[in-house]
Amino acid sequence: MHKRTFIKNISLLGISPAFFSLDQWLAKYETAQPDVLAREEDFWQGIRGGYKLKPGYINLENGYYCFLPEEVLEQFIGHVREINYQGSYYMRTRRFDDNHAMAAKLAALAGCSREELVITRNATESLDLVIGGTKWQAGDEAVMAEQDYGSMLDMFKLVAKKHGVVNRIVSVPNHPASDEEVVDLYAKAITSRTKLLMISHMINITGHILPVQKICDMAHSKGVKVLVDGAHAFAHIQFSIPDLHCDYYGTSLHKWLSVPLGAGFLYVKKENIADLWPLLADSADLKDGDILRLNHVGTLPVHTDISISNAIDYYLKIGAARKEERLRYLQHYWTDKVRNTHRVMVNTPQDQQRSCGIANVGIAGMKPADLADILFKKYQIYTVAIDYANVQGCRITPNIYTITTDLDQLIKALTELAAV
């Protein structure tokens, strides 16, 4: 939609563009179905108006950190000021109650109980608490994929060196024919010595959504517990953690929930809490079945944790279904236009249920780093190069402030580069 049309639509609501109200804008589209609204550029132009975007380039790299809408940013700054104002008084009187309240609100969003969730600093810390806290013995085995996040693979290398664990690494195909192909891939790697299987809910380098529940059910039938890396799934796609049937789930909150930097959570199914060793000592008063014993990290930037509530409120205000439908629409808006173009390689499944907002694209004969460099310098598109496992391309991660004209520039760039 053109800027003039956007301003006209806002004016119809009696709102000055300088004092745009998100609540009034959302009310205008209250009855619109998510799948229809996903294609309504007028609506998303309004959402875009709630972000302060850096001029000069199109940001299509939201996979590392999704920056905050202005509404949440201002609330966060307010928390920083309030904590600074109260100082030690806050830390000694309200800190823990507020942390527990944030955890309870997160648990409600995740569909689990408060007793099964603890706030962390990011997905890496969450998953490390499980990998490092598992009671390994020499000869135990762990299964993971080469497409998993590098920090997690490094942690498995560390426990292999420390405890004599054997790591079995599979490679997930970019375009599986069925869920069963993926499940069977992991099943074949499991032996009688396998103690832990780690999978990505959404593979970070391609956006490939794995059949988590089916993999968990298979692993449990063989007596193996499952750890899920949900860094790119939580607040991106809709799900309830218990429905996944996993034992552990770790995620970041500064990605798709748009919490300030330095927030995540770990879910541990209640009966598994006592089986994990804490990596850092905590109060002896905490019982083995208390999840709080798993994450004693000293004094934290509590203003970030308090902002979790504001980010959840914003997410629910936009609407989980609306967000998922929009992100999936944006991905298919550009991938469907270039997928069959000569030399263009889309490294993400085309099936609607196997991906959402994230996709990966490469140009045959061009190094990913060169592609990323050209996209930025010639076409003013910022993204990130991926060049490992079976993925050679750039990861494209739009967000809800992204509009289709941004993606038209990407389509133009890929089409021109593929024709060279």
- What digits encode the pLDDT tens for the residues 37-48? 999 999 999 999
Tokens of 79: 């928390």
- 343 burial type by CB count under 10 A (0-12 exposed, 13-18 middle, 19+ buried): middle
Residue 150: closest CA among 183, 198, 117: 198
3-61+325-419 and 74-313 agree in CATH topology: no
Band (300; pLDDT cuts 50, 70, 90): confident
84-98, 277-291, 318-332: least confidently modelled range = 277-291
**74-313 maps to which CATH number?**
3.40.640.10
Q: What is the mean pLDDT of residues 129-136?
A: 97
Mean pLDDT, rounded, for 90-95: 94
What is the greatest pairwise CA distance in the chain? 69
The pLDDT, as a whole number, for residue 284 is: 65
Q: Has residue 398 got a pLDDT over 70? A: yes
Percent of the chain, pLDDT > 90?
Answer: 89
Domain 3-61+325-419: top CATH class: alpha beta
- pLDDT interval class at 86 (50, 70, 90): very high
pLDDT (average), residues 277-294: 81
Q: For residue 229, is pLDDT > 80?
A: yes
Is the model's pLDDT at 174 over the cut of 80? yes
| pLDDT at position 244 over 60 | yes
Partners of residue 381 on adjacent β-strands? 58
Residue 92's pLDDT band, with cuts at 50, 70 and 90, is: very high
Q: Taking 70 as the threshold, does the pLDDT of residue 2 lie above it?
A: no
- Out of 16-20, 236-240, 299-303, pick the least confident: 16-20
Predicted pLDDT of residue 1: 43
Residue 173 has pLDDT above 50, yes or no: yes
Confidence (pLDDT) at 20: 60
Confidence of residue 347 (pLDDT cuts 50, 70, 90): very high
For residue 219, name the pLDDT band (cuts at 50, 70, 90).
Answer: very high
Rounded mean pLDDT, 57-69: 96
pTM across the whole model: 0.94
- 336-351 mean pLDDT: 97
Average confidence (pLDDT) over 312-320:
98
Locate the domains of the chain by residue range: 3-61+325-419, 74-313
- Interval 145-163 mean pLDDT: 97
Q: Inform me whether the pLDDT recorded for 13 exceeds 50.
A: no
Determine the pLDDT at residue 281. 75
